Amino acid sequence: MITENTLKTQDITVRKQAEQALERSHAALEQAQALTHLGSWHLDFASQRMEWSQEIYRIHNMDPGTPVDPQSHFPFIHPDDFTAFESAWQATLNGAPFDLTHRIIVQGAVKWVHARAEIQCNEDGQPQSAIGTVQDVTARKQAELALTEKTAALLRAEQQLREVMDTLPVGVTAVDLETKGITYLNECLCRMLGREREEVVGMSPPDFFPAEHRATNSALFAKALRGETAWEPQLPIERRDGSVFLAEIRNIQAVLDGRRCLLSVLTDISERQRQEAALRAAEATAARLQGELRWKAALDAAGHGVWDWDIRSGQVEFSPTIPRLLGLEPAELDPDVDAWLQRQHPDDLMRIRPLLRDALASEHGHFEVRHRTRHRDGG
């Protein structure tokens, strides 16, 4: 009797250890499912008995142990996803794997779940049982949707940026930092280059540097790509027809179409330089004229007359002293050079004309002669 009781005690211990191990395994499984938000289910087709793990109950916000059947999940399926769910399950009954991400509505809140299932058939090929998983992927799906919306918003913003850049009165271009090829240019830059947009995209900025400047300017372009320079005061750019204009270029690194690029703004400063040169010339002329006026005023004050002959027009400008010396009013003195020469004494005019011709033909243009001029009274 003692031996028999001892043997029975040993049998109970082994069974208890197995039960405890099974409980630990079951608890570990439930913990793992809770951590991954992944529940499992089992269906017996003959009895239509269905079992859910605790995680599936949690996903549907139901009390664990609530009786369920194959249709218990249906009321939770989002109306817009129900047709896709039915089609996927019917395909699974015909041998296809069940793998579907869809929405469910739980107490008014929308969740996303990823459902997978596999069917076991009997020897006759009839469904016997099925096992499957349901994973709550709401957080991941919301992140994906947010990323999609952010990407769409970024694309819309980039499109709006392009539309704005196409209206700017300056050239704008984007160069891919990796390929170093032009990915975008606005309408103004197309006009500046005398080229179509489709022709320029894919080319590299050094392609538009004149041959004699290409090496130096290519080095500057490489520095801009590395972010070492943000502004170039003037670079020569060659148009399609071979003409060259000077451009002031400002650079900034940005992201366009999801790729890092060098965004450059080009201003044609050729016209500005022409205007600046014209202004400098006008200022120099004004300074020269002011000097001449002061010189003429000084000569007039000393009683010396001054005349200024514009050779191209043939007109002569006289200081106030000359008509006064000749007894004339300023308006009476004809500004034509031939009329002025006719006022010279005939004997002196024969000497004046050859000296004028020599002065016009010489490099220095110096003319000096002592002669007589007729007065109003004929003297």
CATH number for the domain including 177?
3.30.450.20
Q: Are residues 255 and 324 in the same domain?
A: no
* Cα maximum dimension of the chain: 176
pLDDT at 310 over 50: yes
pLDDT in tens, 333-346: 888 888 888 888 88
DSSP string, 18-71: HHHHHHHHHHHHHHHHHHHTEEEEEEETTTTEEEE-HHHHHHTT--TT----TT
Least confident of 19-23, 36-40, 131-135, 356-360: 19-23
pLDDT of residue 80: 95
Q: Is residue 216 part of a domain?
A: yes
Q: Of 268, 288, 323, which residue sits at a domain end?
A: 268
Residue ending a domain, among 243, 268, 293, is: 268
Q: Do 245 and 201 reside in the same domain of the chain?
A: yes
Structural domain ending residue among the three candidates 136, 151, 181: 136
Confidence of residue 7 (pLDDT cuts 50, 70, 90): very low
* Residue 155 pLDDT greater than 90, yes or no: no
Q: Is the pLDDT of residue 49 over 90?
A: yes
174 inside domain = yes
Mean pLDDT, to the nearest integer, of 54-65? 92
What is the extent of the structural domain holding 374?
305-379
Q: How far is Cα 118 from Cα 101, in angstroms, rounded to an integer?
A: 15
Report pLDDT digits (tens) over 122-143.
Answer: 988 899 999 999 999 999 888 8
How far apart are alpha carbons 5 and 306 in whole angstroms? 150
> Is 115's pLDDT higher than 70?
yes
What's the structural domain count of the chain? 3
pLDDT tens, 230-274? 777 788 999 999 999 999 999 988 888 778 999 999 999 887 788
In this structure, the answer to whether residues 174 and 261 fall within a common structural domain is yes
145 is a domain residue? no
Cα 353 versus chain centre, distance: 70
Q: Report if residue 249 sits inside a domain.
A: yes
Let me know whether 241 and 329 are in one domain.
Answer: no
Please determine, for residue 57, whether its predicted confidence score (pLDDT) is greater than 90: yes
Same structural domain for residues 172 and 132?
no
Sign, CA torsion 12/18/19/24? positive
* Model pLDDT, residue 20: 61
Give the pLDDT confidence score for residue 92 in this predicted structure.
92
The one-character DSSP state at 162 is H
Q: What's the pLDDT score for residue 271?
A: 77
Is there a single domain that holds both residue 107 and residue 180? no
Kindly state the DSSP code that residue 168 receives in the 8-state scheme. -
233 and 182 inside one domain: yes
Q: Is residue 18 part of a domain?
A: no
Confidence (pLDDT) at 29 = 52
For 117-121, 174-178, 179-183, 366-370, which range has the lowest pLDDT when averaged over its residues?
A: 366-370
Clarify whether residues 35 and 110 are in a common domain: yes
Contact 158, 256 (CB under 8 A): yes
Across residues 50-61, what is the average pLDDT?
A: 92
Residue 287 belongs to some domain of the structure: no
| Same domain (yes/no): 67, 129 | yes
Q: Tell me whether residue 24 is in a domain.
A: no
The share of the chain scoring above pLDDT 90, in percent, equals 37
Q: Are residues 202 and 255 in the same domain?
A: yes
Does residue 151 carry a pLDDT above 90? no
Tokens 């009329």: give the residue.
Answer: 339
39, 131: one domain: yes
Q: Examine residue 20 and state whether it is found in any structural domain, yes or no.
A: no
The two three-digit tokens of residue 157, written as one number: 């913003």
Are 262 and 188 part of one and the same domain? yes
pLDDT for res 1: 46
